[in-house]
């Protein structure tokens, strides 16, 4: 949203807010050259900070050259000239901070000082364009690839964010019709960001840290979710429900197997992904309950909680779409329109 406000100011949009900003904050200065001061309000300082993010993408579209700064606007193919030509050079040849593009362009001819042509070779090599006395200057949006695009918030989002490579587990974590809180915990677990004991003991040196399920070794992502006998008993039960033979290994290995099994957009894959996330979330919940609340459930109790959660999800899906086939409902003890049996 802030980027849109910057865009409106640069384009001198005909709005009361833009005119107010120009009158009380910018004045005769160039927007790109305003320095931050401690006396400025937090909102205005934040607004000025956005400039460095959007600056590489906003270029001047020269019409008559009377509203485009010679030094601070990006109108020249070389880039922003204030970063190329030292300030002392401006004043030595009669220019100043308020010089405009129209001061050096005469229709189809550059009027640069002779010494600059040799000193800054790119000036004369730049492509020439003609100014139009009847056209007002404007601004354009330059995308990541250097192409001019129509400004939109969607385009800004794509250009200013650095998107990483697509991860293989995306489809089993973030998908429609899942259970958001479970997906979030699964996501944290895949990133190894849950505060398991192997991570906590880096800064906590007192006390004995042991897995609350088996009390044999400190819990970790691998041990807590897959290698501990308590967790394995839960997975064995649900592997039978899912009608798959899933051999539990390390965390990364198991997640990769799940990606290969449930990549298709089917009702069966959807429920299996829900089961995966629910198992991880409820194992994590039970682990925390034992450590912090001194309360515990048996593996059968955790299984019952997960099954109830999946049944509720199935009932919700049945009322909204026909993605899930009858066999899956029967496997989960759901019959008729509003009844379910166990």
Report pLDDT digits (tens) over 281-306: 999 999 999 999 999 999 999 999 99
Asked if residue 224 and residue 137 are part of one domain, the reply reads no
pLDDT the model gives residue 342 = 44
Q: Which domain holds residue 90?
A: 2-160
Asked if residue 143 and residue 252 are part of one domain, the reply reads no
Asked if residue 239 and residue 139 are part of one domain, the reply reads no
CB atoms within 10 A of CB 29: 15
Asked if residue 174 and residue 154 are part of one domain, the reply reads no
The 3-state DSSP class for residue 58 equals strand
Residue 165 within any structural domain of the chain: no
Asked if residue 116 and residue 63 are part of one domain, the reply reads yes
Domain count, the chain: 2
Q: Can you give the pTM of this predicted structure?
A: 0.63
Residue 52 within any structural domain of the chain: yes
Q: Which residue has the tokens 């607004």?
A: 47
Report the alpha-carbon distance of residue 33 to residue 172 in Å, rounded. Answer: 48
pLDDT the model gives residue 246 = 63
Residue 303 within any structural domain of the chain: yes
**Residues of the chain below pLDDT 70:** 1, 107-108, 125-131, 202-208, 246-249, 320-322, 336-342
Composition of the chain by helix, strand, coil, percent to 5: 50, 5, 40
pLDDT the model gives residue 337 = 56
Asked if residue 193 and residue 139 are part of one domain, the reply reads no
Asked if residue 100 and residue 207 are part of one domain, the reply reads no
Report pLDDT digits (tens) over 114-169: 888 888 877 776 665 666 778 888 888 988 888 888 889 889 988 888 777 788 89
pLDDT the model gives residue 341 = 46
Domain end, chosen from 106, 129, 160, is at 160
């Amino acid at each position: 949203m802030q980027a849109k406000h910057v865009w409106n100011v640069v384009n001198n949009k005909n709005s009361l807010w833009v005119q107010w900003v120009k009158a009380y904050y910018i004045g005769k200065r160039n927007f790109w050259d305003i320095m931050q001061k401690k006396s400025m309000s937090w909102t205005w300082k934040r607004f000025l900070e956005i400039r460095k993010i959007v600056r590489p993408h906003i270029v001047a579209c020269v019409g008559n050259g009377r509203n485009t700064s010679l030094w601070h606007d990006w109108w020249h193919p070389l880039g922003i000239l204030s970063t190329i030509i030292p300030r002392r050079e401006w004043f030595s040849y009669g220019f100043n901070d308020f010089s405009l593009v129209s001061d050096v362009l005469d229709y189809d001819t550059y009027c640069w000082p002779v010494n600059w042509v040799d000193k800054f070779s790119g000036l004369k090599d730049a492509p020439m364009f003609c100014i139009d006395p009847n056209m007002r200057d404007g601004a354009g949006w330059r995308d990541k690839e250097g192409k001019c695009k129509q400004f939109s918030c969607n385009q800004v989002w794509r250009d200013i964010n650095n998107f990483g490579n697509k991860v293989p587990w995306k489809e089993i974590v973030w998908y429609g019709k899942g259970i958001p809180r479970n997906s979030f915990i699964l996501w944290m677990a895949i990133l190894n960001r849950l505060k398991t004991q192997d991570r906590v003991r880096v800064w906590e040196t007192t006390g004995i840290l042991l897995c609350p399920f088996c009390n044999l070794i400190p819990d970790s992502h691998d041990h807590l979710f897959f290698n501990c006998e308590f967790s394995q008993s839960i997975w064995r039960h649900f592997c039978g429900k899912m009608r798959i033979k899933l051999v539990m290994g390390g965390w990364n290995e198991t997640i990769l197997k799940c990606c290969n099994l449930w990549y298709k957009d089917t009702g069966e894959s959807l429920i299996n992904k829900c089961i995966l996330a629910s198992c991880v979330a409820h194992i994590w919940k039970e682990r925390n309950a034992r450590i912090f609340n001194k309360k515990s459930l048996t593996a059968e109790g955790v299984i019952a909680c997960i099954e109830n959660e999946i049944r509720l999800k199935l009932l919700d899906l049945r009322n909204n779409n026909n993605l899930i086939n009858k066999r899956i409902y029967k496997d989960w003890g759901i019959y008729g329109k509003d009844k379910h049996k166990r």
